[in-house]
Amino acid sequence: MESRMSKLGQQSLSGVSVELESVLHRYGESIAVDRVDLQINPGELVALLGPSGCGKTTLLRIVAGLITQTGGTVRIGGQQVDRLAPNERGAGIVFQSYALFPHMTVEKNVGYGLRARGASEREVNQTVHEMLEMVQMDAYARRYPRELSGGQQQRVALARTLAVHPRVLLLDEPFAALDKNLRLDMQIEIRRIQRELGITTLIVTHDQDEAMSMADRIAVMNAGVLEQFDSPEAVYDRPATRFVAGFVGTANMIEGLLVPRADGMYEFQESEGQARLAIRHPGPCSRPGSVLFAARPEHLAIEPVEAGGVYRVDGLMARVEMVLPLGPSLVYELSRQDAPGIKVVVPRTHGVPRIAVGDQVVARVRDGSPVSVFAD
């Protein structure tokens, strides 16, 4: 197994850089990709993540050479490829709809690209065998695509693309047609193969969990613009824009004012309601003034407020509307007077005070938790 993989690794040229410089694409008057800069390292797996219509597929097709961009430059392995045809770029693409040749067996499908390039029968047979073994489909070599499940067809499509040893692997929503369990298997499988081959990979997805679990870095796109390009952790904990904060994961978003305090910390004062929150590190904006505050549900903590107790303004006063035990966590849905509701998630460990529906609570930023403040 190991020697087979190391051989494949050598054949795959293991990883080249992919650079996009100010890439712009218009369809008629409308801008689909708006001056995107992206530097992908050799061997990296990058997810292009964003809502439907944000331009991810257009960008992937530009890298593949299937669309000629309106402006900007693409480099693969340091070489400008803008004038090269798709088959001269060394980029292999796997589509959502596997696009296997229906009248060819699995082995003929996988060997197709090599045969078209005039490889010897011996080389074709050897590579087909290696590729089918890698995607664990060697037992199905003689079958036709119609005799395979969706997941199996997807594996064959991947083997067919990898058989010609592309320098870059491009995956366009490759798991969209698969059910949840199969999707997870394929995500793990592709990650394993990608790591073993060290092949630079770009995957288009609108599924944030998929991007978070597979990618080394995530490029979040919105309306043609690259909003953030960072590690999954950074995109989640330190969203660069309010779009990213809202699109990736869940965020409590509250409008208000950011005010510096004498002790070097900041205070967030809610515009509606009476809430004040102490913030140690506001990011990305620490300019005093009108802001949007965003906190993940697990970055807030809640405490019960005694009935008739002193009214405290340092925190978000709320009433518990719902408590959902979700595996290892408790999810609290909280309502507030004259202000938007909030969501808080706490680990279900011993020592968590019993808080029930109808209780009054105060929510504060959990010590050391990242929260985000965006300029208005």
Give, in degrees to the nearest 5, the angle at Cα 331 between 329 and 336.
Answer: 155
**What is the residue type of 90?**
G
Q: Does 55 bind ligand ATP (CB under 6 A)?
A: yes
The span from the CA of 281 to the CA of 14, in Å, is 40
* 176/253 with CB nearer ligand ATP: 176
The span from the CA of 69 to the CA of 36, in Å, is 11
Span of 51-59, 177-185, 267-275, 330-338 interacting with ligand ATP by CB under 6 A: 51-59
Of residues 128 through 147, those in contact with ligand ATP by CB under 6 A are none
Main-chain dihedrals φ then ψ at residue 71, nearest 5 degrees: -155, 165
Of residues 194 through 213, those in contact with ligand ATP by CB under 6 A are 206
The span from the CA of 75 to the CA of 82, in Å, is 8
**What is the residue type of 141?**
A
CB of 54 to ligand ATP, least distance (A): 4
Q: Does 232 bind ligand ATP (CB under 6 A)?
A: no
DSSP state of 311: P
Span of 54-62, 129-137, 330-338, 359-367 interacting with ligand ATP by CB under 6 A: 54-62
DSSP state of 84: S
Q: Of 12, 58, 69, 153, which one interacts with ligand ATP (CB under 6 A)?
A: 58
Site size toward ligand ATP, by CB under 6 A: 11
CB of 256 to ligand ATP, least distance (A): 33
Helix (H, G, I), strand (E, B) or coil at 326: strand
Of residues 17 through 46, those in contact with ligand ATP by CB under 6 A are 27, 32
Q: Can you list the alpha helix ranges (DSSP code H) found in 117-179?
A: 121-134, 150-163
Span of 52-60, 244-252, 278-286, 290-298 interacting with ligand ATP by CB under 6 A: 52-60
- Paired with 129 in beta bridges are none
CB of 203 to ligand ATP, least distance (A): 12
The span from the CA of 256 to the CA of 273, in Å, is 10
The span from the CA of 323 to the CA of 331, in Å, is 6
The span from the CA of 163 to the CA of 182, in Å, is 23
Q: Of 54, 134, 169, 219, which one interacts with ligand ATP (CB under 6 A)?
A: 54
Span of 49-57, 251-259, 278-286, 333-341 interacting with ligand ATP by CB under 6 A: 49-57
Q: Of 15, 50, 151, 232, which one interacts with ligand ATP (CB under 6 A)?
A: 50
**What is the residue type of 176?**
A
**Site of interaction with ligand ATP (CB under 6 A):** 27, 32, 50, 52-58, 206
